[in-house]
Amino acid sequence: MTGRQPDPLPGASAERALVVAVLPKGVDGSEELLELRELARTAGVDVVAELVQHRERADRRTYVGKGKLEELTSTYAEAGAEVLLVDDELEPTQQRALENALSARVVDRTQLILDIFAQHAVSAEGKLQVELAQLEYNLPRMRGMWQHLERLGGGVGTRGPGETQLESDRRIARRRIALLKQRLRGLAAQRQIRRKERARAETPTVALAGYTNAGKSTLLNALTDAHVPVADRLFETLDPTTRGFELEGKRYLVTDTVGFIRRLPTQLVEGFASTLEETLVADLVLHVADAALPEGRLVEQIAAAESVLDEIGGSALPVELVLNKVDRLDAVARRRLANRFPDALAVSAVTGEGLDALKARVAERFADRFEDVRLLVPYDEGSALSALYALGAPIEERSDTEDGVLIRARLPHREVRRFAAFLVAGSTDDRAARA
């Protein structure tokens, strides 16, 4: 058992939990469990004790070995714990074995994260995604929920309501999963329509991605003057939020997405596929990392986020590393960080430091996407004027003359040739469009 006793959470109503983990030999249990402690804090659970077993792999039946299971049972009682948190995804048989041995609730890592997601889901889509992930997680474990009826489950003299009820519950769960997937596909189709509108205007889209609690929502607020709720908790933001900012007359869209974590559960990757899509359809990913972390943890979290990006198919996207929270660093730490990540942008979403440089870097990425042109559209060419506005308001200046409407606009490259007939002398793209 580790000697560290975590500080209790404020509030007398918090559940008391014992944390257990099976780790490879040589791995520091106290360091490895930092993330699970933070997950527990976010879920409102007070970690009162920790138990670590070092072995090559977890026991297939009881997760920990036989001797460790006896120690776990006594430690659980001595600590006055109310729930066992396991820093792993348990097989249903392992979960039942632990529950039987301790006569207690056993919550594994995936279930804990799903509980946090359920607390933080706000939008209708977010709640649907959470419910889908929970059902897909629970479906193979439903047998354990009916242990008191298992002896009625099959064979001569044992058939009865237990089997009927269990199979009925499974069918209900499967039908609900199918319905949720259908509803989420409908919402995904609506989002695809909005994406097509953005693509037509060729407005650059930037996705904020990275480890949970790195300050992505705070950065979105700082860049776009949005008012997305922020808090010092993991997975505070589940629903993608898109806002825009302008720089030198050009508009950029920024989307805040769900945070990543080490060993992101499969159910979350599948259930939140539509949310994670917002990262994949972006033109640029800003990988936001917490610069205030110790260097070892910072490197680990950057690697974990890159792994999740690769897992969801985003490894080919252009990425800029953004080191947030540099206001918490002294001069020496800043120099060390600059040496370790020379191409990264150092910013503070709280103080505003580095945000102008970040906006400039984003603008530089899309510098060749638009062209400034001057157009003279005759009054009898109203359809052309309507087409300009349909592109997403690229018109920056308009004046009425005797010959028509004089317009200064910012057009996507591919649209310049379409309006070449209306280019006037002096337009920066006149010769190129007519070539």
d(CA 338, CA 344): 8
Q: Tell me, what's the pLDDT at 153?
A: 43
Average pLDDT in the 134-158 region? 58
Specify the higher pLDDT residue, 387 or 18. Answer: 18
**pLDDT one-digit tens code per residue, 74-118:** 999 999 999 999 999 999 899 999 999 999 999 999 889 888 888
Backbone angles phi, psi at 52, to 5 degrees: -125, 135
d(CA 44, CA 14): 6
* Residue at 117: amino acid letter: F
Average pLDDT over all residues of the chain: 80
Q: Tell me, what's the pLDDT at 432?
A: 45
Domain ranges of the chain: 15-116, 121-184, 203-365, 370-434
Q: Tell me, what's the pLDDT at 4?
A: 38
User: Where do we find the tokens 């120690």?
Assistant: 71
Backbone angles phi, psi at 162, to 5 degrees: -60, -50
Give bridge partners of residue 285 from the DSSP assignment. Answer: 207, 319
Contacts of 247 (CB under 8 A, 6+ apart): 359, 360, 362, 363
Identify the band that residue 199 occupies on the pLDDT scale cut at 50, 70 and 90: low
**pLDDT one-digit tens code per residue, 33-64:** 888 898 898 888 999 999 999 998 999 999 99
Q: Tell me, what's the pLDDT at 157?
A: 44
Q: Tell me, what's the pLDDT at 340?
A: 94
Exposed (0-12), middle (13-18) or buried (19+): which is 332, by Cβ within 10 Å? exposed
Q: Examine the pLDDT at 379 and tell me if it is beyond 80.
A: yes
Least confident of 26-30, 159-163, 180-184: 159-163
Report how far apart, in Å, the C-alpha atoms of 179 and of each of 172, 183, 186, 276, 368 are: 11, 6, 11, 20, 44
Q: Give the start-end residues of each E strand in 81-139.
A: 83-86, 105-108
Identify the band that residue 7 occupies on the pLDDT scale cut at 50, 70 and 90: very low
Average pLDDT in the 230-246 region? 72
Tokens read off for 261: 């974590």
**pLDDT one-digit tens code per residue, 309-354:** 887 777 788 899 999 999 999 999 999 999 999 999 999 999 999 9
CATH architecture of the domain with residue range 203-365: 3-Layer(aba) Sandwich (3.40)
The CATH topology of domain 15-116 is: Rossmann fold (3.40.50)
Q: Tell me, what's the pLDDT at 273?
A: 61
Phi-psi region of 404 (alpha: psi -120 to 50; beta: other; left: phi over 0): left
**pLDDT one-digit tens code per residue, 239-282:** 677 888 888 777 888 988 777 777 776 666 665 665 666 677 78
Q: Tell me, what's the pLDDT at 250?
A: 77
Exposed (0-12), middle (13-18) or buried (19+): which is 208, by Cβ within 10 Å? buried
Specify the higher pLDDT residue, 166 or 361. Answer: 361
Q: Tell me, what's the pLDDT at 84?
A: 94
Average pLDDT in the 408-425 region? 79
Q: Examine the pLDDT at 172 and tell me if it is beyond 70.
A: yes
Q: Tell me, what's the pLDDT at 221?
A: 92
Identify the band that residue 2 occupies on the pLDDT scale cut at 50, 70 and 90: very low
Contacts of 399 (CB under 8 A, 6+ apart): 405, 406
Contacts of 25 (CB under 8 A, 6+ apart): 54, 55, 56
* Exposure class string for 159-179: b at 16+ Cβ within 10 A, else e: eeebbeebeebeeeeeeebee
Domains 15-116 and 203-365 share a fold: yes
Q: Examine the pLDDT at 17 and tell me if it is beyond 70.
A: yes
Neighbours of 434 (CB within 10 A): 11
**Residue 204 and residue 362 in contact, taking contact as beta carbons nearer than 8 Å:** yes
- Closest Cα partner for 135 from 173, 169, 178? 173
Q: Tell me, what's the pLDDT at 260?
A: 79
Question: What is the DSSP code (8-state) at residue 232?
Answer: S
Q: Tell me, what's the pLDDT at 171?
A: 84
Backbone angles phi, psi at 258, to 5 degrees: -60, 140
Determine whether domain 370-434 maps to CATH 3.30.70.
Answer: yes
**What is the sign, positive or negative, of the torsion defined by CA atoms of 265, 267, 268, 274?**
positive
Q: In this prediction, what percent of the chain has a pLDDT beyond 90? A: 30
Question: What is the DSSP code (8-state) at residue 56?
Answer: S
d(CA 77, CA 343): 52
Phi-psi region of 225 (alpha: psi -120 to 50; beta: other; left: phi over 0): left
